[in-house]
Structure 1
Amino acid sequence: MLVGLIVACEVAFWVLLAAGLIARYPLRRPRLGAALLLAVPVVDLVLLVATMIDLRAGGTATFAHGLAAAYLGFSVAFGHGLVRWTDERFAYRFAGGPPPRRAPRYGMARARHEWREWGKGMLGWAIACAVLLAGIALVGDADRSQELWAWLARLSLAMGAWLVFWPLADTVFPKRPPGGSGGVGIVERS
Structure 2
Amino acid sequence: MIIAIIGAEIAFWVLLLGGLATRYLLGARRVSSVILACVPLIDLALVVLVSVDLLRGAEPTHAHALAAVYLGLTVAFGHQIIGRVDVWFRYRFANGPKPVKPPEGSTEEVKAIWAEWLRVLLAAAIAAVCLVIMIAVDGGAIPESISTISKHPYWGILHTIGIVTGIWFLAGPAFAGTGDPALDRPENRKTEVQRSDAP
- What TM-score bracket applies, with the shorter chain setting the length? 0.7 to 0.9
In the TM superposition, residue 96 of structure 1 has moved relative to its aligned partner by 1.6
Whether the 8 Å contact between 1:13 and 1:43 is mirrored in structure 2 is: yes
Alignment match, 1:166: 172
CA distance in 2, matches of 1:70, 1:82: 17
Per-residue CA distance 1:5-49 (angstroms, 9 max, x = gap): 000000000000010000000110111111111111111111111
Identity over aligned pairs, percent: 37
User: Is 2:155 the counterpart of 1:152?
Assistant: no
CA distance in 1, matches of 2:61, 2:9: 19
Unaligned runs of 5+ in 1: 177-181, 184-190
> CA RMSD, aligned part only?
2.0
Whether the 8 Å contact between 1:56 and 1:139 is mirrored in structure 2 is: no
Q: Which has the higher contact order (CA 8 A, sep 6+)?
A: 2
In the TM superposition, residue 101 of structure 1 has moved relative to its aligned partner by 4.3
CA distance in 2, matches of 1:104, 1:31: 35
CA distance in 2, matches of 1:103, 1:159: 24
Alignment match, 2:97: 98
Give, as a single letter, the amino acid of the residue that structure 2 aligns with 1:164: L
Correspondences of 1:69-148 after superposition (within 5 Å): 69-140=68-139, 142=141, 146-148=152-154
3-state SS of the aligned residue for 1:97? Answer: coil
In the TM superposition, residue 105 of structure 1 has moved relative to its aligned partner by 2.4
Alignment match, 1:61: 60
CA distance in 2, matches of 1:8, 1:15: 10
CA distance in 2, matches of 1:133, 1:48: 14
Give, as a single letter, the amino acid of the residue that structure 1 aligns with 2:159: A
- Find runs of 4+ consecutive structure 1 residues off by over 4 angstroms: none
Q: Give the TM-score normalised by the residue count of structure 1.
A: 0.85
CA distance in 1, matches of 2:160, 2:77: 19
- Between the two proteins, the alignment pairs up a number of residues equal to 174
In the TM superposition, residue 102 of structure 1 has moved relative to its aligned partner by 2.2
Given the superposition, is the C-alpha separation of residues 57 and 141 from structure 1 closer, same or farther in structure 2, using an over 3 Å criterion? farther
In the TM superposition, residue 107 of structure 1 has moved relative to its aligned partner by 3.8
